């Protein structure tokens, strides 16, 4: 049962007084649209551990959640004491000053995780005066931006390799994919109380994917890839709209991308296949709605990036690919080098690919492969970059950077 620390009417009063996301905010995983796009301009093309660094601050513990940004503040989750203490952090966007360091959950034995994962990998999501933070089966919570706990809830499933996918918000609901080794389901919680509104069980295997909200012919859908199936649901009720089966997919991580009447998804492990699926179907569309697929260079962990008519991928082994999004025709495929987990972003007319060792390759988008810059900072880097407030925010295993173009001398 959820632990409710604030009455629903108080929540609604606070929510009504809350501010909407402003230009320059990035309130969820993969930015304002959830697909890696940003309208920010004037971003740095080059940086190092000292050049074009507005500030660099140490972050306690370890977490691979990306920064979430709203109203001049930056939010991160982290885990200290080998995952025993799961915490929410808040920093001033301009100075890096820490405003909040709040323990949300404590588990003396949090369980094992994959060596590439952390106990704080899902990205917080922001709305108005509230922050929603998810640590997989270890706990989900809503807090005010002042740091007060509104509710807590623990969802029962064995995520085996640790927490993965981030939650999404729709109207009064917080929607989370819970695909464990024991049970698999998508659940919607009342965002004011944490009470369960609907739960849609599904068959398959473990997965770690963040669902994507979209509209098809003006009707909202939440697309939630899992082990063996991609399934779209009615977000208000959890009713299944369509499903597409991939025969060997499991441990699915990349978030879906939508555009041109298609959704783009990867089956992840063991042998990744990247699919373009036509939207607009109902029921089992496996045999009828596949537009095209890619096998060589498909990602296991990084999400895809759609820019105009081209879609960009990077495999975990550093193979970058540019395809025609509508047909799957390959424009180029090049080796960036390194290993990749973070998802690329498109900002200021550039594409930023960040590998796991602090190396960011900046490309010019287009049908011809063109590297604009290669930048390096020390440390491990599995969290995705965020562009906001005229800057790029980069999280390593020990620090958080605000990367900003230095004023001309």
pLDDT tens track of the chain, all 409 residues?
333 333 333 333 333 333 344 557 999 999 999 999 999 999 999 999 999 999 999 999 999 999 999 999 999 999 999 999 999 999 999 999 999 999 999 999 999 999 999 999 999 999 999 999 999 999 999 999 999 999 999 999 999 999 999 999 999 999 999 999 999 999 999 999 999 999 999 998 999 999 999 999 999 999 999 999 999 999 999 999 999 999 888 999 999 999 999 999 999 998 999 999 999 999 999 999 999 999 999 999 999 999 999 999 999 999 999 999 999 999 999 999 999 999 999 999 999 999 999 999 999 999 999 999 999 999 999 999 999 999 999 999 999 999 999 887 6
What is the CA 245 to chain-centroid distance, rounded?
23
- Report pLDDT for 18: 35
Q: How many domains does the chain have?
A: 2
- The candidate with the shortest Cα–Cα distance to 184, out of 118, 243, 132, 229, is 229
Same domain, 119 and 195: no
Same domain, 154 and 49: yes
Residue 270 Rama label (left phi>0; alpha psi -120 to 50; beta): alpha
CATH code of 194's domain: 2.40.128.630
Quote the DSSP letter at residue 308. Answer: T
- The whole-angstrom separation of Cα 368 and Cα 371 is 10
- The whole-angstrom separation of Cα 128 and Cα 174 is 14
Last residue in a domain, options 283, 299, 323: 283
The Cα-based distances of 105 to 80, 100, 116, 151, 234 in angstroms read: 11, 15, 22, 12, 31
Last residue in a domain, options 233, 253, 283: 283
- Report pLDDT for 4: 35
Same domain, 229 and 187: yes
Residue 356 lies in a domain: no
- The whole-angstrom separation of Cα 236 and Cα 208 is 22
Residue 247 lies in a domain: yes
Residue 155 lies in a domain: yes
- The whole-angstrom separation of Cα 338 and Cα 358 is 10
Same domain, 71 and 204: no
- The whole-angstrom separation of Cα 151 and Cα 128 is 16
Last residue in a domain, options 159, 176, 200: 159
- Report pLDDT for 248: 81
The range of the structural domain enclosing residue 244 comes to 167-283
- The candidate with the shortest Cα–Cα distance to 76, out of 402, 403, 409, 404, is 402
Same domain, 132 and 212: no
Same domain, 186 and 80: no
Residue 223 lies in a domain: yes
- Report pLDDT for 307: 98
CATH code of 66's domain: 2.40.10.480
- Report pLDDT for 247: 84
Same domain, 215 and 76: no
- The whole-angstrom separation of Cα 124 and Cα 73 is 13
- The candidate with the shortest Cα–Cα distance to 247, out of 264, 268, 232, 276, is 268
Same domain, 77 and 96: yes
Residue 12 lies in a domain: yes
Residue 133 Rama label (left phi>0; alpha psi -120 to 50; beta): beta
- Report pLDDT for 9: 35
Same domain, 93 and 175: no
Same domain, 7 and 136: yes
Q: What is the pLDDT of residues 296-307, one digit of tens each?
A: 999 999 999 999
Residue 208 lies in a domain: yes
In degrees to the nearest 10, what's the CA dihedral of 388, 389, 391, 396?
-50
Same domain, 3 and 91: yes
Q: What is the pLDDT of residues 136-178, one digit of tens each?
A: 999 999 999 999 999 999 999 999 999 999 999 999 999 999 9
Same domain, 8 and 111: yes
């Amino acid at each position: 049962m959820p632990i409710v620390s604030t009455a629903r009417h108080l929540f609604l009063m606070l929510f009504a007084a809350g501010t909407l996301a402003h230009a320059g905010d990035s309130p969820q995983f993969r930015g304002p649209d959830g697909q890696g796009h940003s309208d920010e301009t004037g971003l740095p093309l080059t940086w190092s551990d000292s050049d074009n660094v507005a500030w660099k601050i140490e972050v306690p513990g370890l977490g691979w959640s990306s920064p979430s940004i709203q109203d001049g503040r930056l939010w991160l989750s982290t885990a200290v004491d080998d995952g025993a203490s799961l915490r929410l952090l808040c920093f001033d966007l301009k100075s890096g000053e820490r405003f909040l360091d709040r323990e949300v959950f404590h588990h003396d034995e949090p369980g094992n995780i994959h060596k590439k994962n952390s106990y704080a990998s899902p990205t917080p999501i922001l709305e108005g005066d509230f922050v929603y933070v998810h640590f997989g089966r270890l706990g989900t919570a809503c807090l005010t931006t002042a740091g007060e706990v509104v509710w807590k809830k623990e969802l029962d499933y064995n995520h085996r390799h640790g927490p993965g996918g981030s939650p999404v918000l729709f109207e009064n609901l917080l929607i989370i994919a819970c695909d464990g080794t024991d049970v698999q389901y998508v659940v919607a919680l009342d965002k004011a109380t944490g009470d369960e509104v609907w739960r849609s069980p599904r068959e398959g295997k473990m997965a770690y994917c963040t669902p994507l909200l979209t509209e098809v012919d003006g009707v909202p859908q939440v697309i939630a890839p899992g082990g063996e199936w991609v399934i779209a649901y009615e977000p208000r009720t959890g009713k299944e709209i369509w499903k597409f089966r991939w025969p060997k997919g499991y441990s699915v991580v990349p978030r879906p991308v939508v555009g041109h009447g298609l959704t783009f998804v990867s089956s992840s492990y063991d042998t990744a296949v990247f699919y373009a699926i036509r939207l607009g179907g109902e029921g089992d569309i496996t045999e009828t709605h596949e537009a095209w697929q890619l096998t060589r260079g498909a990602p296991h962990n990084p999400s895809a990036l759609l820019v105009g008519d081209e879609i960009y991928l990077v495999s975990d082994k550093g193979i970058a690919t540019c395809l025609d999004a509508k047909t799957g025709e390959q424009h180029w495929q090049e080796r960036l080098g390194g290993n990749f987990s973070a998802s690329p972003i498109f900002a200021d007319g550039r594409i930023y690919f960040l590998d796991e060792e602090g190396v960011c390759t900046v490309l010019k988008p287009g049908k011809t492969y063109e590297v604009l810059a290669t930048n390096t900072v020390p440390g491990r880097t599995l969290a995705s970059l965020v562009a906001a407030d005229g800057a790029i925010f980069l999280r390593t295993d020990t620090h958080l950077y605000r990367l900003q173009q230095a004023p001309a001398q």
